[in-house]
C-alpha cells in the first residue's frame, strides 16, 4: 500500500481540534471522510501534532496509506474537491517510504502566535488573533522569554490534562516580532522545539503578555519556570491566535 504525506492548512474555528471525535467535527475526520470518497472504506490518518479546538495550521503534516498508486498532484486535487466547503486545504502531497511517519519521523515543530493590540473589535482578523486593548512592551517580553529558551522542566507551562510522560522539554527558540498588520499593530511569537506540551505555547504567550503589559517584572518568568507549579503560570491565552506553521523532517517530503 503506497503511503502519502499531506501538507494541510486549516482554519480551526469550526473544529473541536485535529483529532477525530465521535460527536464533534474535527480536521482529521474531514480529511478521512474525503479519503473515503476516493477509496471506499475506513481511513485513519496520523498527524505531526494534535492541535486543540480553535487552533489553526498553515503547514500541518499527516500521512495516509492508500490502495491505489495515486499521482500526488491528482490526489491533492481530488481531496480538495471533496473537502469543500470545510476550511481545510491540502497544500501539497508526496509519496513517501512505507516507514515514514508524520509524527515519529519529525524532528521539530514550529508554532506562531498572533496578538493584535487595539481597542476596537477586530473584523477582518476576528477569530484569527488574540486581541488585547493596549500596546505591549515587546522588549520586556523578549527579556522574559529569554528565561524559557533551553532545556527545562516546563511543568508551570503544562496543562493539567497533558498526557506527555515528562514535562522536560528543550525550547530551541522564542522570537517576538512587531508587525503593522492590516488590522493594526501586532506581535507575532515564533516558537520552535522538537515537541511541545499540551497548552505550552498558549501558557507561555499568556505569561509574556503580563510582562509586556507591565503587570509582571521580567524576572517573574524565571521564577514561574523554577516553581514547577501550574499555579505560578500567567493566564492561558485563547486558541484563535495560535498556528502550527511548520514541521521539520530530515528529508522534507514537500521540498
Whether the Cβ atoms of residue 7 and residue 255 lie closer than 8 Å to each other: no
Q: Bridge partners of 158?
A: none
The residue whose grid cell reads 506562531 is 112
- Closest-CA residue to 113 (of 48, 67, 68, 179): 179
Phi-psi region at 253: left, alpha or beta (left = phi > 0; alpha = psi -120 to 50): alpha
DSSP H or E stretch at residue 139 = helix 138-145
Question: Of the residues 52, 65, 137, 251, which is catalytic?
Answer: 52
Residue 158 CB: number of other CB atoms within 10 A? 22
Provide the residue count of the chain. 255
- Return the C-alpha cell found at 174: 522564542
Phi-psi region at 17: left, alpha or beta (left = phi > 0; alpha = psi -120 to 50): left
- Closest-CA residue to 241 (of 111, 149, 144): 111
99 included as an active-site residue: no
The residue whose grid cell reads 482529521 is 28
Per DSSP, the three-state class of 135 is coil
Whether the Cβ atoms of residue 239 and residue 53 lie closer than 8 Å to each other: yes
Q: Give the residue numbers annotated as catalytic, written as ranges.
A: 52
Amino acid at each position: 500500500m503506497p503511503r502519502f504525506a499531506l501538507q494541510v492548512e486549516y482554519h480551526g474555528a469550526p473544529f473541536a481540534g485535529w483529532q477525530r471525535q465521535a460527536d464533534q467535527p474535527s480536521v482529521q475526520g474531514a480529511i478521512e471522510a474525503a479519503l473515503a470518497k476516493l477509496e471506499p472504506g475506513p481511513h485513519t490518518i496520523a498527524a505531526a501534532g494534535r492541535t486543540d479546538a480553535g487552533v489553526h495550521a498553515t503547514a500541518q503534516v499527516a500521512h495516509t496509506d492508500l490502495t491505489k498508486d495515486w499521482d500526488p498532484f491528482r490526489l491533492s486535487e481530488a481531496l480538495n474537491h471533496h473537502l469543500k466547503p470545510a476550511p481545510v486545504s491540502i497544500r501539497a502531497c508526496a509519496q513517501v517510504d512505507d516507514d515514514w511517519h508524520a509524527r515519529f519521523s519529525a524532528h521539530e515543530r514550529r508554532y506562531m502566535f498572533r496578538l493584535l493590540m487595539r481597542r476596537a473589535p477586530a473584523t477582518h482578523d476576528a477569530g484569527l488573533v488574540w486581541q488585547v486593548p493596549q500596546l505591549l512592551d515587546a522588549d520586556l517580553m523578549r527579556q522574559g522569554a529569554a528565561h524559557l529558551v533551553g532545556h527545562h522542566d516546563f511543568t508551570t507551562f503544562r496543562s493539567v490534562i497533558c498526557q506527555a510522560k515528562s514535562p522536560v522539554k528543550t525550547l530551541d527558540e522564542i522570537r517576538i516580532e512587531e508587525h503593522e498588520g492590516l488590522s493594526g499593530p501586532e506581535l507575532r511569537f515564533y516558537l520552535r522545539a522538537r515537541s511541545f506540551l499540551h497548552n505550552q505555547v498558549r501558557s507561555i504567550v499568556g505569561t509574556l503578555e503580563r510582562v509586556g503589559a507591565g503587570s509582571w517584572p521580567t524576572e517573574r518568568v524565571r521564577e514561574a519556570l523554577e516553581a514547577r507549579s501550574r499555579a505560578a503560570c500567567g493566564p492561558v491565552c485563547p486558541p484563535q491566535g495560535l498556528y502550527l506553521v511548520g514541521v521539520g523532517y530530515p528529508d522534507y517530503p514537500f521540498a
